[in-house]
Amino acid sequence: MEGDAGVSISRGGPANSFAYLFAANVGQPPFDDPRVRQALRLAVDRQALVDVVLLGQGTLGNDVVGLGLPGYAEGLVQRRRDIE
């Protein structure tokens, strides 16, 4: 709808953001194994999810909610997909 003179698009910024996540019961197999959880983190193509699911209108948050808000852990290295 961008480009339509009759439509105004507002983006709220970090204070109005939300997170999408994968939930896993870490008390049950196989998710009770930290190696399995790490494998899931590394298997996901995060940028592809932003591009497809959010139509490019999102930001990678590196497993920590609150990017851009006060108190966010600055300096975290963004995880990258690593199938191996």
pLDDT tens-digit series, residues 15-54: 888 888 888 999 999 999 999 999 999 999 999 999 999 9
In a domain, 32, yes or no: yes
When divided into structural domains, the chain yields a total of 1
- For residue 40, the enclosing domain spans 28-78
Q: What pLDDT is recorded for position 76?
A: 87
In a domain, 14, yes or no: no
In a domain, 37, yes or no: yes
In the predicted model, is pLDDT for residue 74 greater than 80? yes
Radius of gyration of the chain measured on its C-alpha atoms = 16
The tokens describing 24, both together, are 């896993």
In a domain, 36, yes or no: yes
Strand runs labelled E in the chain: none
Of 20, 24, 2, nearest in space to 11 by CA: 2
Reported pTM: 0.71
